[in-house]
């Protein structure tokens, strides 16, 4: 199978936050229009579109049918193949993956991937259903929510590697400092280690600031094959690797490593022909502070147990070896399920374009995006990853 080189030519997104006064169509349209304008392409040239939408917290009124069609007809995009995809927290990334593959295989030359969520529109019964009643699957009824799983992860890393509560706080301080410099982030206040440690306890040892928030927002990007991309831009960003894996709950029973992440990284490095030492900048799925540290290890940024040293020594901060979550991460932006994956990609595109202002990683050439999927008992059950190059 010969895959064509695929490039990201346009990116766009809304602010992330609370948007009770705007419809999900309105939010998604803003992101799609921004991406189309950024690419400098006519919307009539778009040949395929895939929308990411988890609808997890949107309540009955948000359980759309064929939402991509509903959204895109508003901006004049009709009559092309469209569908909606979902893969837990990796929902955004699988829309990107779908469009990437259709272009890489030569079926289409120009495609639109977009993702959106209005999580603040949820009614309480919807959230309660999500958290407590997963049909016949029993783990969540036993208390295994995302926060408790990551709490156990943190406890295990403290026991096994000597990680401290301050190390967890360091992740938050770094990411919220980046978030304070990102006008589109939801939480714009930088925080101190003391503030993080003294915040309300959610799932010991995780305090409020160590847990990502939810929110409303949308993201979009325009992909093209390399030849077409060159007609629209002199600085296309290449998708050097795209992988999707799933893992098994049973294989991760000590919670300090996710097999799906390890396998995805191995596959992505091989596909891109790079190693972790080549990565300049990364967006990693920091839904909870300990997750970011675990990712450093699963993705080979360091050895087992060495993530503590990395965060203490600032190796993932500006000026460090691999700068992680310069967007502010999920901890600053909020995890807006359908939008997150493409948001991570878009911030890396800005890094590779040298457009990240005070958050810019000087000379960034290779970027890695990592988006975890699944929920609660199957929290570990998906990993979407992209390696991007300029």
Q: Give the residues lining the site for a copy of itself (CB under 8 A).
A: 1, 23-26, 54-56, 59-66, 69-70, 73, 78-89, 94, 98, 101-102, 105-107, 118, 121, 125-130, 133-137, 244-249, 259-260, 263, 373-378, 381-382
Determine which one of 32, 89, 211, 381 is catalytic.
Answer: 89
Q: Pick between residue 105 and residue 257 the one whose CB is nearest to a copy of itself.
A: 105
- Beta strand pairing call for 206-207 and 201-203: antiparallel
- Reading phi first (left if > 0) and then psi (alpha if -120 to 50, else beta), residue 292 is in alpha
Q: How many Cβ atoms sit within 10 Å of the Cβ of residue 91?
A: 30
Q: Pick between residue 84 and residue 165 the one whose CB is nearest to a copy of itself.
A: 84
Give the nearest distance from C-beta 334 to a copy of itself in angstroms.
17
Determine which one of 335, 377, 381, 383 is catalytic.
Answer: 335
Q: How far is CA 349 from CA 71, 104, 149, 211, in A?
A: 25, 19, 32, 26
Give the nearest distance from C-beta 58 to a copy of itself in angstroms.
8
335 is catalytic: yes
Give the nearest distance from C-beta 211 to a copy of itself in angstroms.
17
Q: Pick between residue 82 and residue 282 the one whose CB is nearest to a copy of itself.
A: 82
Per the listing, tokens 């419809």 go with 23
Give the nearest distance from C-beta 332 to a copy of itself in angstroms.
23
Q: How far is CA 197 from CA 91, 164, 207, 303, 356, in A?
A: 31, 11, 7, 27, 30
* Residue pair 161/305 in contact by the 8 Å Cβ criterion: yes
* Residue pair 345/388 in contact by the 8 Å Cβ criterion: yes
Q: How far is CA 108 from CA 46, 49, 94, 319, 325, in A?
A: 9, 11, 17, 40, 32
DSSP codes, 173-195: HHHHHHHHT-TT-S------HHH
- Beta strand pairing call for 237-245 and 48-52: unpaired
Q: Pick between residue 189 and residue 251 the one whose CB is nearest to a copy of itself.
A: 251
Q: Pick between residue 30 and residue 259 the one whose CB is nearest to a copy of itself.
A: 259
Give the nearest distance from C-beta 45 to a copy of itself in angstroms.
16
Per the listing, tokens 């993932």 go with 316
Q: How many Cβ atoms sit within 10 Å of the Cβ of residue 290?
A: 28
Residue 96: phi and psi, rounded to 5, are: -60, -45
Rg (CA), the chain: 19
Give the nearest distance from C-beta 126 to a copy of itself in angstroms.
4
- Reading phi first (left if > 0) and then psi (alpha if -120 to 50, else beta), residue 211 is in beta
295 is catalytic: no
Give the nearest distance from C-beta 146 to a copy of itself in angstroms.
10
Q: Pick between residue 81 and residue 358 the one whose CB is nearest to a copy of itself.
A: 81
Q: Pick between residue 29 and residue 343 the one whose CB is nearest to a copy of itself.
A: 29
Residues whose CB is less than 8 angstroms from the CB of residue 362 and which lie 6 or more positions away in sequence, other chains included: none
Cite the active site residues. 89, 335
């Amino acid at each position: 199978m010969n895959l064509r080189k695929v490039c990201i030519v346009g990116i766009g997104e809304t602010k992330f936050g609370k948007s009770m006064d705007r419809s999900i169509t309105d939010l998604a349209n803003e992101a799609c229009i921004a991406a189309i304008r950024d690419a400098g392409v006519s919307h009539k040239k778009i040949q395929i579109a895939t929308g990411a939408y988890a609808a997890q917290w949107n309540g009955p009124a948000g359980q759309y049918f064929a939402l991509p069609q509903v959204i895109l007809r508003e901006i004049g995009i009709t009559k092309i193949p469209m569908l909606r995809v979902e893969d837990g927290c990796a929902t955004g990334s699988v829309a990107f993956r779908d469009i990437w593959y259709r272009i890489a295989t030569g079926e289409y030359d120009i495609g639109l991937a977009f993702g959106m969520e209005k999580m603040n529109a949820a009614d309480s019964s919807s959230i309660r259903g999500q958290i407590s009643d997963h049909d016949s699957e029993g783990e969540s009824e036993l208390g295994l929510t995302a926060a408790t799983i990551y709490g156990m992860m943190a406890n295990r890393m403290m026991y096994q590697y000597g990680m401290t509560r301050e190390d967890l706080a360091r992740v938050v301080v770094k990411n919220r400092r980046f978030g304070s410099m990102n006008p589109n982030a939801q939480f714009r206040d930088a925080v101190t280690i003391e503030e993080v440690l003294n915040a309300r306890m959610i799932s010991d040892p995780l305090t409020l600031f160590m847990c990502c928030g939810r929110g409303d927002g949308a993201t979009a990007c325009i992909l093209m094959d390399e030849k077409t991309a060159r007609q629209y831009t002199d600085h296309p960003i290449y998708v050097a690797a795209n992988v999707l894996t799933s893992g098994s709950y049973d294989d991760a029973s000590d919670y300090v490593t996710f097999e799906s992440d390890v396998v995805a990284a191995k596959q992505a490095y091989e596909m891109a022909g790079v190693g972790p030492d080549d990565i300049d900048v990364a967006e990693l799925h920091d839904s909870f502070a300990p997750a970011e540290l675990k990712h450093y290890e699963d993705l080979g940024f360091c050895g087992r147990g060495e993530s503590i040293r990395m965060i203490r020594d600032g190796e993932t901060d500006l000026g460090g070896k691999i700068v992680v979550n310069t967007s502010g991460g999920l901890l600053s932006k909020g995890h807006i399920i359908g939008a997150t994956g493409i948001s991570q990609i878009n911030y890396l595109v800005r890094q590779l374009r040298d457009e990240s202002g005070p958050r810019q990683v000087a000379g960034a050439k290779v970027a890695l995006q990592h988006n975890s999927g699944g929920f609660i008992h199957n929290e570990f059950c998906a990993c979407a990853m992209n390696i991007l190059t300029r």
